[in-house]
Amino acid sequence: MKKWVIGFIVLLLLAAAGYWFTTRDSTEAAPVYETIVVAKGDVQEIVSGSGVIEPAGTTTVRIARGGVITSVSVTEGDSITNGAELFRVDGTPVFAMVTTTPFYRTLASGDDGEDVRVLQELMRDLGYYSGAIDSDYGGASQEAVRDFLEDRDLERTHRVGPETFQSVGSEEIGAPVIASLSIGLGDSVQPGAGALVTRPDGALQAVVNINEIDIPRIEVGQKAVITLDALPDQEFMGEVIEVSTGLVSSGAATAGGTANVVTFPVTVRLDAPSAQIKAGMSADAEIVLTTASGVLAVPTGAVQEKEGKTIVLVPGAMNPDGTQAPPEPLEVVVGLRSDDMVEVTSGLSEGQTIIVGLDVNSLELPSGGLFSRPEGMNEGGS
């Protein structure tokens, strides 16, 4: 009796083991994968670079006539207004012109040019000139200058030059602010020496290094996304304003040792910098080269290459017994690629389901499919 019971139990255990191995094999044979529905979106091709945040658009104001600094009217951090006195050399004041156009010569009757134009604009803004801004240093312009000087207890003359007026930067991206001051009361100065440096108020830029392979595709006006190590959860928009021709070389580790990596500085001005951003912070920039909008876009990991064909995988059809056939490859044509998305120009339609995260080489593809061998050819290619 005991032997019969023991034998019956052994049979049950063997049956259970057989069932476990059968179900285990069938479960392991069924691929596990994630699917997504193909939809339209945007694909952007980008180039990345790293660098630092710097103040934007600095301007150096220089000494036009040597002598001794007898007065300094500004300090670091001051905003500069049009016509404001900056400093005096041997008692002669130097006034600010809020412009990037250099005031480089002493004007005389009949002179014309850009320096005349900015002087006319200065006199107009201060209420001394109401004539045409025609870049011609005529009688009305000269009289405006004489009145301006007389109101400041200075010699009434129309012959003025860089020893009286100095350009301090434009208001285009922010009023000029004194970034640094390099002169002090009693200093002896030489012609051409720097007196102070200005920068646009609040304006910052990222100067990032771009690999020489990518630099030919970078152009002024391209948009960029700036991220900072100090503010990891925020993104800031910017625009490329300068592509430098001065290369920067740095060492990079390779299998054979250290090789020089050639990069070029690219300047990206931040559109709306936050008060949290400080000069000197580490910055990364993703510069947008090309954007394809409203296209069929799939994750980069869904697009694979096999035997010279570009494919995606789609779920297999449902069998009559309720099981699902293995995934099948579908050939596609792709367009623009980014780090995470790929544009599909042909082979897919919106709303179609595809597989992501499954390697085509891990599948046993059915015969008669996309990668079937020609009739009569064996695995060795004979």
- The tens digit of pLDDT for each residue in 292-348 reads 899 999 999 899 999 889 999 999 888 888 888 889 899 999 999 888 899 999 999
Is 49:376 a contact under the CB 8 Å cutoff? Answer: no
Any alpha helices (H) in 231-343, and if so which ranges? none
182 & 90 share domain: yes
114 & 212 share domain: no
Tell me, yes or no, whether 350 lies in a domain: no
> What's 216's DSSP letter?
G
pTM, rounded to two decimals: 0.56
pLDDT score recorded for residue 148: 97
CATH code at 86?
A: 2.40.50.100
Among 76-85, 93-102, 314-323, name the one with the lowest average pLDDT.
314-323
Output the six-digit token pair for 254.
């390779």
156 & 278 share domain: no
Output the six-digit token pair for 14.
């063997």
Answer with the one of 268, 292, 316 that is the final residue of a domain: 292
74 & 197 share domain: yes
Any alpha helices (H) in the chain, and if so which ranges? 2-29, 114-125, 139-150
Answer with the one of 242, 257, 292 that is the final residue of a domain: 292
135 & 242 share domain: no
First CA to last CA across the chain, in angstroms?
Answer: 64
CATH code at 147?
A: 1.10.101.10
156 & 186 share domain: no
Query: Going along 161-281, which residue ranges are E strands?
Result: 165-167, 176-181, 188-189, 194-200, 204-211, 223-228, 231-243, 248-254, 257-270
The label of the residue with tokens 């412009």 reads: 99
For residue 131, give its domain range: 105-161
139-150 and 114-125 are packed helices; what angle lies between their axes, rounded to 10 degrees?
50
Tell me, yes or no, whether 214 lies in a domain: yes
222 & 114 share domain: no
Tell me, yes or no, whether 320 lies in a domain: no
Average pLDDT, the chain: 85
Among 50-59, 120-129, 247-256, 293-302, name the one with the lowest average pLDDT.
247-256
The label of the residue with tokens 């051409």 reads: 192
**Whole-angstrom Cα distance, residue 193 to residue 263?**
32
Q: What number of H helices and E strands is found in the chain? A: 3, 22
Tell me, yes or no, whether 321 lies in a domain: no
Contacts of 124 (CB under 8 A, 6+ apart): 130, 133
215 & 93 share domain: no
The label of the residue with tokens 């300094």 reads: 72
